[in-house]
A and B are shown apart, each in its own frame.
Chain A
Amino acid sequence: MDWIDALLIPAIKSLVVIVVLLLAFAYMTYVERKLVGRFVRRYGPNRAGPFGLLQPIADAFKAIFKEEVIPSEVDKWLYVICPGIAVAGSLIVFGVIPVGDSFMAWGRKITMVIGDVNVGVLYVVAVAGLGLYGIFLGGWSSNNNFSLLGALRSTAQVITYELPMGLALASIAAITGSLRFADIIAAQRTLPLIVLQPVGFLIYFISGMAEINRSPFDMPETENELVSGYSTEYGGIKFAIYFMAEYINMIVMSILVATLFLGGWQGPFAHLSPLLQLVWLGVKAAVVLFVFIWVRASIPRVRYDKWMKFGWKFLLPLGLANLAVTAVVVALVA
């Protein structure tokens, strides 16, 4: 295990992942705006470039050149660093997800995962809450009661929905017998886990939407109630970075759903080429992203106390029941 394997290759992989995720974020905003528009019978952006394709570039240009306003009463150091924490939290999660099998290059076997950890699923659950610090501290440092309320709501929501998410993942671990991502993908060689765990999939999907503060669970940033929640005092490039954190969270969550429940990078002819594996993963993640956007365009926002109740009093017992049934069936079959 020389320095190239230990340092250089993961560094290059991380760089590639960061660049790809940032580009994906930029065009994800475009895809979302177009799709949400079409879901409600209007065009999305279609003025900036042909079919509005240059819209993300126009938005980035505007965000960068906007005047940098820092309110006088904020906690300056925290205020400036929090969007960065949020983005770092979103990017870190991607570290254990395999996007393919492996390939040979320059005499070395390069696996298509940044860090192949034995407890990959546990890692994901653990760092999923790190991005929350960016949101919560941003709301706190803004020195503004609406921002604080948005931050508090976000914190409570993420904590509440971590539990059913963990239980759905525990059910997966019960079936596949391992927390390592590569093993979970291998266990789906014949049948994707969504068939064996439909309830688990629903629980994970709903908790995932709550984790990433995504409509219909986007109370922390509702325009109607909290001005803009935790990001009220943020403008220009800092707001763009918060936005980036949310979208990268969404992309990573859809890749996670695709990997855990839909079979990951596997698919017909996938063993032939790593590129095809990437394509399969991309297609599955795209389908999940489409469903995320579809849900956002269709379903009204849930009242805050109602979905806290839903998370604690319904989803958590359902997750426990799912885990119990799964464990019994696995014990009987094995």
Chain B
Amino acid sequence: MSALVNAVKGLIQHLRAMGITLRYLFMKPVTVQYPEQPPEIYPRFRGRHELQRYENGLEKCVACGLCAAVCPSGAIYVEAAENDPEHPVSLGERYAKRYEINMTRCIFCGYCEEACPKGAIVMGHEFALADFGRHELVYSKEQLLEPAHPHVIVKQV
């Protein structure tokens, strides 16, 4: 007899579960149809790095190497050179002659952004970084200076 009662209770629980899915059938799906619809991300989303410049066009990076030192995967390579006084590249005595980030090593943790004393390296919002070869995925300074145009909607917080 108790088996029958338990069975009926179980059946009612199953029907309640089916009621929930039936409700879901008539709701709009939560899927974001990427790439037609851009995804919504928060302002502090860590995407591809961007090297910053000052208003007058000089690069902020002075090749101190703090970002390379703090990087957990050792993805950053910095080579410094002395600034030519007539044609300075950065504000200060030195500039980054070579600045490369190996994107296959980068874990997008953002430590380089936190470590930089000049605010020169910043994590932008670009995430669509797929490419066809390992060598193409080592980004040079010129590529990183180039601002990205990510296909996203940044949520207002």
Task: Report the bound CA distance from A39 to B3 in whole Å.
Answer: 31
Task: Report the bound CA distance from A298 to B31 in whole Å.
Answer: 19
Q: In whole Å, how far is B61's beta carbon from the nearest beta carbon of chain A?
A: 43
Q: In whole Å, how far is B5's beta carbon from the nearest beta carbon of chain A?
A: 12
Query: Do the beta carbons of A42 and B20 come within 8 Å of each other?
Result: no
Query: Do the beta carbons of A298 and B20 come within 8 Å of each other?
Result: yes
Residue of A nearest to B10 (CB): A310
Q: In whole Å, how far is B139's beta carbon from the nearest beta carbon of chain A?
A: 31
Evaluate whether A38 and B31 lie within 8 angstroms (CB atoms) in the complex, with A298-B18, A299-B18, A314-B7 already known. Answer: no
The 8 A CB mask of A280-299 against B (1 = contact, 0 = none) is 00000000000000110111
| Those of B10-31 within 8 Å (CB) of chain A | 11, 14, 17-18, 20-22, 24-25, 27-31
Query: Do the beta carbons of A43 and B21 come within 8 Å of each other?
Result: no
**Contact with B17, one of A41, A42, A299, A314 (Cβ below 8 angstroms):** A299
Evaluate whether A41 and B30 lie within 8 angstroms (CB atoms) in the complex, with A314-B3, A314-B7 already known. Answer: yes
Task: Report the bound CA distance from A294 to B18 in whole Å.
Answer: 7
Tell me, yes or no, whether A40 is within 8 Å of chain B by CB: yes
| Those of A298-316 within 8 Å (CB) of chain B | 298-299, 313-314
Chain A interface residue count, Cβ-Cβ cutoff 8 angstroms: 17
Number of contact residues on B: which range applies? 10 to 19
Task: Report the bound CA distance from A41 to B7 in whole Å.
Answer: 30
Residue of A nearest to B17 (CB): A298
**Contact with B29, one of A35, A37, A295, A318 (Cβ below 8 angstroms):** A37
Query: Do the beta carbons of B24 and A41 come within 8 Å of each other?
Result: yes
Query: Do the beta carbons of B30 and A297 come within 8 Å of each other?
Result: no
Evaluate whether A38 and B17 lie within 8 angstroms (CB atoms) in the complex, with A43-B31, A314-B3, A314-B7 already known. Answer: no
Task: Report the bound CA distance from A39 to B20 in whole Å.
Answer: 9
Q: Which residues of B contact A38 (CB under 8 A)?
A: 24-25, 29
Q: Which residues of A contact B3 (CB under 8 A)?
A: 313-314
**Contact with B21, one of A42, A202, A297 (Cβ below 8 angstroms):** A297
Task: Report the bound CA distance from A313 to B21 in whole Å.
Answer: 30
Query: Do the beta carbons of B14 and A299 come within 8 Å of each other?
Result: yes
Q: In whole Å, how far is B59's beta carbon from the nearest beta carbon of chain A?
A: 43
Query: Do the beta carbons of B21 and A39 come within 8 Å of each other?
Result: yes
Query: Do the beta carbons of B7 and A295 come within 8 Å of each other?
Result: no
Q: In whole Å, how far is A46's beta carbon from the nearest beta carbon of chain B?
A: 8
The 8 A CB mask of B17-58 against A (1 = contact, 0 = none) is 110111011011111010000000000000000000000000
Query: Do the beta carbons of A42 and B18 come within 8 Å of each other?
Result: no
Q: Which residues of B contact A37 (CB under 8 A)?
A: 29
Task: Report the bound CA distance from A40 to B25 in whole Å.
Answer: 7
Residue of B nearest to A297 (CB): B21
Q: Which residues of B contact A35 (CB under 8 A)?
A: 25
Q: In whole Å, how far is B8's beta carbon from the nearest beta carbon of chain A?
A: 11
Q: In whole Å, how far is A316's beta carbon from the nearest beta carbon of chain B?
A: 12
Task: Report the bound CA distance from A35 to B26 in whole Å.
Answer: 11
Could you pull out 16 A-B pairs where Cβ atoms are within 8 angstroms? Answer: A37-B29, A38-B25, A39-B21, A39-B25, A40-B21, A41-B27, A41-B28, A41-B30, A41-B31, A42-B29, A294-B18, A297-B21, A298-B17, A298-B21, A299-B14, A299-B18
Further pairs besides A43-B31, A43-B33, A297-B21: 15, Cβ < 8 Å: A37-B29, A38-B29, A39-B22, A41-B27, A41-B29, A41-B30, A42-B31, A43-B29, A295-B14, A295-B18, A298-B14, A298-B21, A313-B3, A314-B3, A314-B7
Top-6 shortest CB links A-B: A298-B21, A39-B21, A298-B18, A298-B17, A42-B31, A42-B29
